[in-house]
Amino acid sequence: MTDPFDVLADSTRRDIVDLLRAPSPKPLEMSVGELVDALGITQPTVSKHLKVLRDSGLVQVREDGQHRYYRFDDAPLGVIRKWVGAQTAPAPASARDHSTSTELRVAPFADLGPLGRATGGLVKDSLALVNRLILGARR
């Protein structure tokens, strides 16, 4: 799977890329353990997705002894940039600001991924507590 569209179609891989492309003066590097902690998913799952990202070239790996550190590489995204650039068209008049500007009004982007993971963890923990209470009451 080397098509960046296919690679980034998976939300977990997008989450990994988002973590690794965080703005910093130098390229951000993270170990598998750090990614596991940040994402709240299992190590085998993170490793599986990192392999796909490595094979596509979106993630590079640096070995330091027994440790491996991963960093984002945006070079393969040139295909997407080229495609998006070719798809741009003038905005319809109804989408333009009514002032003299021809810029589009764009709703601000809100990344709800971390909130969803936090909510899922809260629900899981709550259900585990309820199950313990019910099982404890039956004894």
Domains of the chain in sequence order: 4-77 (1.10.10.10)
For 79-137, how does the pLDDT look when each residue is reduced to its tens digit (9 = 90+)?
A: 788 888 776 655 555 555 554 545 555 555 566 676 667 777 777 777 777 777 877 66
What backbone phi and psi angles, to 5 degrees, belong to 94?
-70, -20
Q: Do 55 and 89 meet the contact criterion of CB atoms below 8 Å apart?
A: no
Specify the higher pLDDT residue, 125 or 71: 71
Distance from C-alpha of 40 to C-alpha of 1, rounded to nearest angstrom: 25
What count of other Cβ atoms lies within 10 Å of the Cβ of residue 10? Answer: 14
Q: Does 24 or 62 have the greater pLDDT score?
A: 62
Reading the block at residue 29, the tokens are 């590097």
Q: Where are the beta strands (DSSP E) in 5-89?
A: 30-31, 59-64, 67-72
Give the per-residue pLDDT at 90: 58
Average pLDDT, the chain: 79
